Structure 1
Amino acid sequence: MDLDLAGVTTLVAVVRTGSFEAAARELRLTPSAVSQRVRGLETRVGRVLLRRTRPVVATEAGEVLLRLGGQLELLVEEAVEELRVEAAPASRPPVLPVAVNADSLATWLLPVLAELHEDQGVTFELLRDDEHHSAELLRQGRVLGAVTADPVPVQGCRSVPLGVLRYRALAAPSWVARWGAPPQQIEHAPVVVFDPRDTLQHRVLARRGHPDAQPPTTSVPSSWDFDRAVRMGLGWGMVPEPGLGDAVERGELVPLWDDGELDVALWWQHWRLDSPLLRTLTEAVQRGAAAVLHPPHP
């Protein structure tokens, strides 16, 4: 199949910007020209590639070409940088789109990216999503790598084990004074969750014999503020161990059970692409994870 690379680039722009009009402004084309390029690409591959919704989203076939478009952009940027004459002005540094769960971002990934930025001059577009859903952004072609709880590689990707992010069931002393440790009525005791996709607390409730419990719940969609909410007594919560410091030893947080731990195994999935920059990013992510996370379970 003879793919029209200009059409692939246009497809990427339409999905990234969310509309044909916005893609036209980015590419300095008319909306009609953008539409013609996409229709021509769809004719070549014999598939519908976009759902004309607001925002525009890719079909399953379109996601394949989105991944191709992202890989082409990365390879072109690397080639241009390699061929750049030393006296010529530096080109714009590449932007690496990465999906990551909030707790990894808050506890160990940012220093990794900062070091890579210092060494390579690259910048990042970070898309935050729950670790059980972040691989979907790879599948959609929106990112080149993802920290995920899914070990099964997305088509066209590699999966590398990173280690185990351990969470502990903790509460503030004021909360414990009301509900106890261990809590006497845990199915009714207030709880803090990150967002509707956060199931850690409810997994602990199920393990304690309350799979259908619906306790009073406060949703706090920020890792830093989640920690503060637990410390202020809004509810008990599963707090990531790497961010605890000596809070338990100082009595700022109280463990609810002796076995109140939950391990989440993490993987790094990335495009199967021979890119020096992607290889450097992968090695940096592995080193950063190994310094903070528990070793992967055998």
Structure 2
Amino acid sequence: MRIAREFCEDRLAVLGLVLFLAIAAIAILAPWITPQNPYDLAQLDIMDGGLPPGSESFATGGTYWLGTDEQGRDMLSAIAYGLRISLLVATVSLAFAIAIGVAAGTTAAYLGGKVDTLIMRVVDLQLSFPSILIALILLALFGRGIDKVIIALIIVQWAYYARTVRSSAIVETRKDYIDAARCLALSHRRIMFRHLLPNCVPPLIVVGTVQIAQAIALEATLSFLGVGVPITEPSLGLLIANGYDYLLSGRYWVSIFPGIALVATIIAINLVGDRLRDVLNPRLQT
């Protein structure tokens, strides 16, 4: 209750949370609330291609509030479906990256010695390279596909969580309750994951909130560069790339509106993450 009360004291954070929940709801409910499935060829009409925002359909008489692209694809529907792909890739990769990073970081902090040195050298080596570079190399090896992008993002992100958990866990391992658990001859796995890990969750929540925004941005960048998701299931990044060639011809809506949706999603998540960081870390509170 304290965390919720302090979180709600920041109006920008509340606005970010409401915006993100609205975006997530649109993405989840896209098949039921959008006027068309933009990637079902049977629902597209070439006569509706390139219509500006607010135009009426020649085929159905409906209104395209955000216009259409060259194939007659409703941009409002395309953005909703694109959000589904972007959020799916980000959340799935986040879940697996956290699981791997938590296991590695907790093990390194608890066992220490050579195990800690080995794990942290791998983490340091990975973090010394830009994330986009590692992802590009991996996708050049794996090829395009949603599953390939998810695997690449897991490999890119796990090191952040490993370092975060290790930093918190090292402090906890020196406390009396860990010594008491060892005196009771509890198994290492039980001590690490039932006693040590729960006390490392607050900083993990903050890092996870920030990293999901970074994952969305990274996936959009990869798709924009043509190495991310396939064109049959485009995300926001691929929608922006598809409309890039039409900017100079005046058909700004094909690229600008997906870009606005992407920026709004990232800003909303960052607002929530910044407030959670302040609430969960008393040292940052004034």
Query: Fold-level match, TM-score > 0.5?
Result: no
- Write 1 or 2 for the structure with the bigger share of strand: 1
How does the TM-score come out when normalised to structure 1?
0.23
- Write 1 or 2 for the structure with the bigger share of helix: 2
How does the TM-score come out when normalised to structure 2?
0.24
